Amino acid sequence: MRKLVVHGGYKLQGELKVSGAKNSVLPILAATVLNGGLNVIGNIPKLSDVDVMVKILRAVGCEVKRENGTVIVDSSKLNNHRIPEELVREMRSSIVVLGAMLSRCSETIVSYPGGCEIGPRPIDLHLKSLRELGAIIEEKHGFLICKAQKLKGCEIQLDFPSVGATENIMLAATCAEGVTVIRNAAREPEIKDLEDFINKMGGKISGAGSATIKIQGVKNLHEVEHTIIPDRIVAGTYLAAAAITKGEILLKNVVPEHLQSAIYKLKECGCRVLYTNDSIKLVAPSRLHAIESIKTMPYPGFPTDMQSQIMSLMTVSDGISIITENIFENRYKHAYELIRMGANIKIDGRVAIIKGVPKLTGANVTANDLRGGAALILAGLVAEGTTIIENTKHIERGYDNIEEALKSVGAKIQRL
């Protein structure tokens, strides 16, 4: 099993370029099956989740080439509507292929998805919405058997602004008959990136980034070239890494607008943050201030994917911070690993109370999920001594060679 060894006490200083957004790449790769032709996609990060999605595309007959951060998908030879169970169970986001495959093949079979164990993430909104579009879905022996001779546009009101459900509806409705309107849609930047990709291939989608998205179904799509937006969570993680080490960092290839809620909290804990259209500079204080209240919310609120990293910051802050996790009910596993390193954290249901301590100490810890693993790296950067992080496969799902990036700005970290 792979491990990361982090030697604490080194200040991060320098410049980093942010990679493409994992949460954009996966639905956009799924969307490549729609046009039955060539798709050229740039700024693709090297992630295990991307590897899984590429395997899924190849399994259904697509030709996929990867060249220096670019993925070329030819979906003209798609010849299989069954998604391999072992791939779907490996990655939660694989469920987004459902809408695209239904649109292209009128039939698909997929198992229930896997991924990080951060609490129940039911796909009932996905299935309910696809049924409203005309799909017939049977659930048998852990599989979803989905058929749709003709998908028809309709109005869909989401009970919760689910990112995955919004994406699946957009993919399924792109070539559906008539107009589809999604109300209470997810507003994340990755939704807008998917809209841009589909529209470049001839789709007619408007409203992404707002609570109402309109999809006018089209009959034909064409070849497309697209560049993935920067990863706002990777950017936020690097900013937090500089903050916890009392360092200074300049991020390039970033969209500050996508990080406003995280930037606001970093300023609240004493960091100085400056930015242009495509860069962010953070200068950390000599001592981090506690953040009185952090509540995770759907975008543009504070992202659940940054909760773990901010918790690491607060473990060495001056005062008491309170975090409320409103998205996933089981996303505090990293807290118990931070406690092993000397953090003072109390968990009560969805609420975490963090009392800052003068220092953390290195320990053997385990990454139980993607963002929790990133939080442990941050803690290791500031801890006294050496931290060994096990089960790093989760970290590799969402960070492109994170140890090399951090080493380039002064961290002492290596992979075993």
267 and 181 within one domain = no
Give the domain range for residue 262.
3-18+230-415
253 and 198 within one domain = no
**Is 124 annotated among the ligand-binding residues?**
yes
353 and 243 within one domain = yes
What are the residues whose beta carbons fall under 8 Å from the beta carbon of 88, sequence distance 6 or more? 56, 94, 95, 110, 111, 112, 113, 114
Contact between residue 83 and residue 109 where contact means Cβ atoms under 8 Å apart: yes
Give the separation between CA 345 and CA 335, rounded to whole angstroms: 7
Q: Does the structure show a pLDDT above 90 at 116?
A: no
pLDDT for the residue numbered 196: 98
**Is 305 annotated among the ligand-binding residues?**
yes
Helix (H), strand (E) at residue 7: strand 3-7
Domain end marker among 196, 211, 227 = 227
Would you call 116 a catalytic residue per the annotation?
yes
Q: Strand pairing partners for 355?
A: 320, 344
Q: What Cα–Cα distance (Å) separates residue 269 from each residue in 22, 59, 290, 304? A: 27, 47, 6, 18
Q: Does the structure show a pLDDT above 90 at 344?
A: yes
Helix extents (H) in 91-249: 97-105, 124-132, 163-173, 189-200, 232-244
- Quickly count: other Cβ atoms within 10 Å of residue 72's Cβ: 15
| Cα angle 25, 120, 294; round to 5 | 75
302 and 222 within one domain = no
38 and 12 within one domain = no
DSSP string for residues in 268-280:
HTT-EEEE-SSEE
152 and 10 within one domain = no
pLDDT, tens only, 296-331: 999 999 999 999 999 999 999 999 999 999 998 889
**Is 128 annotated among the ligand-binding residues?**
no
Q: Grade residue 114 by pLDDT with cuts at 50, 70 and 90.
A: low
**Is 122 annotated among the ligand-binding residues?**
yes
Domain end marker among 179, 204, 227 = 227
281 and 208 within one domain = no
**Is 74 annotated among the ligand-binding residues?**
no
The number of distinct structural domains making up the chain is 2
DSSP, collapsed to helix, strand or coil, labels residue 189 as helix
**Is 87 annotated among the ligand-binding residues?**
no
**Is 326 annotated among the ligand-binding residues?**
no
The sheet carrying 143-147 orders its strands as 107-111, 143-147, 136-140
Helix extents (H) in 221-332: 232-244, 260-268, 307-315
pLDDT, tens only, 131-170: 999 999 998 888 889 999 899 999 999 999 999 999 999 9
Give the separation between CA 17 and CA 230, rounded to whole angstroms: 9
261 and 376 within one domain = yes
407 and 331 within one domain = yes
pLDDT for the residue numbered 328: 87
Q: Which of 62, 105, 116, 269 is catalytic?
A: 116
**Is 22 annotated among the ligand-binding residues?**
yes
Contact between residue 67 and residue 41 where contact means Cβ atoms under 8 Å apart: no
Give the separation between CA 268 and CA 352, rounded to whole angstroms: 18
